[in-house]
Amino acid sequence: MSAEASATADPAADEAPPILRAARIVKRFGGLTAVNDVSFDIPARSIVSVIGPNGAGKTTFFNMLTGLIRPTSGRITLGGRNITRARPDVITHRGVARTFQNIRLFGAMTAVENVMVGRHARMRAGLAGAVIRPPWVRAEERAARERARELLGYVGLPAGSFERFASQLPYGDQRRVEIARALATEPTLLLLDEPTAGMNPRESAELAGFMRRLRDDLDLTILLIEHDMKVVMDVSERVTVLNYGAKIAEGAPAAVRADPAVIEAYLGKEG
């Protein structure tokens, strides 16, 4: 493990041990190589961004980290444990939570119920427990409900909306519920897929502050896919740039912004 770590470690990486390490990840869909040999570390308690033009393979990369799709080759470890081929629910159980680019709430469930689903991995009641409903199951249900309300308050959902169906909530509140639902899984690593999509500059700035607060309050590590460069530069400690599935730059926000390869990827070659 340590030998492998020193062999692939990026000299520019922080001193903190990585909470997640993706080594030489490749994903091919038929003839298309969506992610090509990307290696990537996330230091614990950091906020790290992945950026890149549309179709650069960012979401594909995210989906591999959360087990929704399996890499063609490569290895992903979470806190030293191999999760490359683990099921998504197992990965969630081990402490990775995510939100989605196009909000994927359970529309016909209330905000509180949505967040309670997030508690699923941290609850034990099965069929027998549900039917017999012994005291520990009642206590577990009550605790899950309380925790859900707490989290919804934490992300700033108005109390009047707790029992409304998710599909009836305004867009911004749906984003909040989705983050609360992800937090309910008790993650150590939170993946946010374009959290500021559809937000105005003020809301985006608020969210950037909120992400820092999340990290500090809950000891979280945050990985972010983002298009809003202001947010990325403002909040990230490290930025990784993907283009055509390959990593073209990595480092501190200011350095990445000045990188000629990045400018070319976004704006095209000069002349």
Partner 1 sequence: MNARLSTPVAALRTLAGGLPPWWSRVLAAALIVVGAAVPFLFGGNGGFMNATIIAFAYAVMSLGLNIVVGIAGLLDLGYVAFYALGAYSVGWFGSEFFAKAQVHVLVNAVVSTLPGIHLNFLLILVAAALICAAAGVVIGLPTLRLRGDYIAIVTLAFGEIIYVIAVNGQSVSIGGGMTLTAGNLGISAVDSPFFPGVVQFGLLDLKPWYWLIFVILLVAVFVNLRARDSRLGRAWVALREDEVAAVSMGIPLVRTKLLAYAMGAAFGGISGAFLGTYTTQVNASQFQFGFSIFILAMVIIGGLGSIWGAVTGGLVLGYINNWLIPDVLNNLPSSFGFHFQLTQVEFGIFGFLLVITMVLRPQGLIPERRRRLELTAAIPAEDAQLGNEPEGVA
Contact set with partner 1 (CB under 8 A): 66, 68, 87-89, 92-93, 97-98, 100, 104-109, 113, 116-118, 120-123, 125-127, 129-131, 133, 137, 140-141, 144, 165, 167-168, 181-182, 185
Residue 18 in contact with residue 44, Cβ under 8 Å? yes
194: nearest Cα among 76, 57, 49? 49
CB of 140 to partner 1, least distance (A): 8
Minimal distance, residue 108 CB to partner 1, in Å = 4
Nearer residue to partner 1 within complex by CB, 30 or 170:
170
Closer residue to partner 1, CB minimum distance, 50 or 116: 116
Which DSSP string do the residues of 152-197 spell out, in sequence order?
A: HHHTT--GGGTTSBGGGS-HHHHHHHHHHHHHHT--SEEEEESTTT
**Alpha carbon distance 25, 126 (integer Å):** 36
- Taking the least distance from each CB to partner 1, the nearer of 72 and 101 is 101
Between 87 and 230, name the residue whose CB sits nearer to partner 1.
87
Q: Is 38 helix (H, G, I), strand (E, B) or coil?
A: strand
Is the CB of 63 or the CB of 236 nearer to partner 1?
63
Given the complex with partner 1, which of 81 and 269 has the nearer CB atom? Answer: 81
Minimal distance, residue 113 CB to partner 1, in Å: 6
Structure tokens at 5: 């770590």
What is the rounded distance in angstroms from the CA atom of residue 240 to the CA atom of residue 12?
12
**CA–CA distance, 149 with 30 (Å, rounded to integer):** 45
Question: Minimum distance from CB of 112 to partner 1 (Å)?
Answer: 11
Q: How far is the CB of 107 from partner 1 (least distance, A)?
A: 6
Closest separation in Å from C-beta 266 to partner 1: 29
Q: Closest Cα to residue 74, out of 28, 36, 26, 40?
A: 26
